[in-house]
Amino acid sequence: MAGERVLYLNGDIVEESRARISPFDRGFLWGDGVYEVTPSFGGNLYRLGDHIDRLYRSLRYVRIDPGMSPEVMEQATLDTQKENEGRLEPGGMYRVGHWVTRGVDDPSMSAGAASRATVLIFWRPADVEKVARNAKEGVRLAVTATRRTPPECVETRAKVTSKMNQILAELDAAASGSLSLMLDIHGNVAENSVANFFIVRDGALWTPPERNILQGVTRKAVFELAGQLGIPAEERDFTMYDVAQAEEYFITSSAICAMPVREVDSFRPKAEVPGPVTRRLMDAFAAETGFDFRVRLVSPGGEHP
């Protein structure tokens, strides 16, 4: 790997250290924007089309015109990837970010008076060894006092940059060395700060309905893979009572695919970690992405097994 990574910013591809965004950008001032994160597994942009499609659904919801079509956005991503050849670790995993803000604020501070949108596309390396350890051992979740913002306030299906709700939940859970599990305002299980949540009950997958959660691309992939594997899957409301009875738990996001959960507060799954259903889905993701976190732990000698 040689040279500094490059990114796309408002029509130009530049080295990261040369990128400049106005301090008056509404994304900085007000969190006024939307975003996407697409995983790149060894150069393969996994479900890029799905991520760009969701990006544009979010943009339409918040009334931001990015000044480019989805097709142009995808081509800009591929052009930036090409320019990064030789600058990225061969075979590595990266998070490819698409950030779009409403643009530079007008002195009036009116949303409708902002300049043209700011469009940013960038590559950031993932901590593959940490993900690999978690995939082997499972992660711990803690139910947080911070509840998920209800869709009556801000639509949960939109991937917006105003993340203080999820950040506070993350900090709540971090105090006990855990990741978060957020409930909705009615006490139903919602999601992790950055991932969707699933349980396995009687061999079937349960996950909260889209009303209370982000409309996850990897969550959608789980339903597709479960269908191929003959695993029943359904959206439904459930509470911590149901979590207490479950055989398995796992979380999903683009950066981790399906990640086993070893404990939620004091509740432990009835099955081993990862459980048999979770393992089947992890195998399916490894086959589909060509990237298996579980074989990427570094041995004491410093070599990958």
DSSP per position, 59-71 = HHHHT---SS-HH
**Kindly report the CA angle at 211 between 150 and 112, in degrees rounded to 5?**
60
Q: In the prediction, which pLDDT does 212 show?
A: 87
Measured in residues, the chain has a length of 305
Residues 6+ positions from 177 with CB-CB distance below 8 Å: 140
Give the Cα separation of 44 and 61 in Å (integer). 29
Let me know the angle formed at the C-alpha of 76 by 110 and 33, rounded to the nearest 5 degrees: 25
Alpha carbon distance 13, 5 (integer Å): 10
pTM of the model: 0.93
* Identity of residue 271: A
Supply the mean pLDDT for the chain.
95
C-alpha R_g of the chain: 20
Are the C-beta atoms of 282 and 258 separated by less than 8 Å?
yes
Question: Could you tell me how far CA 104 lies from the centroid of its own chain?
Answer: 26
Of the candidates 120, 131, 104, 106, the one whose C-alpha atom is nearest the C-alpha of residue 37 is 120
Distance of CA 215 to the CA centre of its chain: 10
Closest CA to 284 of 216, 229, 219, 208: 229
Among all chains, which residue has been given the structure tokens 């990897």?
218
Residues contacting residue 302 through CB under 8 Å, at least 6 positions apart? none
Q: Is the pLDDT of residue 305 over 50?
A: no
CATH class of 6-126: alpha beta
- The pLDDT tens digits for 104-125 are 999 999 999 999 999 999 999 9
pLDDT by residue (tens digit) across 242-281?
999 999 999 999 989 999 999 999 999 999 999 999 999 9
- Count of alpha carbons within 13 Å of 85, Cβ hemisphere only? 5
Domain spans in the chain, listed from the N-terminal domain onward = 6-126, 131-293
**Element (DSSP H or E) covering residue 52:** helix 48-62
Interval 263-273: pLDDT, tens:
999 999 999 99
How far apart are alpha carbons 233 and 201 in whole angstroms?
A: 10
Architecture of domain 131-293: Alpha-Beta Barrel (3.20)
Percent of the chain with pLDDT over 70: 97
The answer to whether 183 and 143 have CB atoms below 8 angstroms apart is yes
* Average pLDDT estimate for 172-194: 97
Residue 1 clears pLDDT 70, i.e. is over it? no
Per DSSP bridges, beta strands 44-45 and 93-101 are unpaired
The predicted model gives 152-180 an average pLDDT of 96
Residue 193's identity, in one-letter code, is S
The answer to whether the CB of 96 falls within 8 A of the CB of 45 is yes
pLDDT digits (tens, 9 = 90+) for 24-48: 999 999 999 999 999 999 999 999 9
**Side chain identity at residue 128, one-letter code:** V
The arithmetic mean of pLDDT across residues 208-221, rounded, is 94
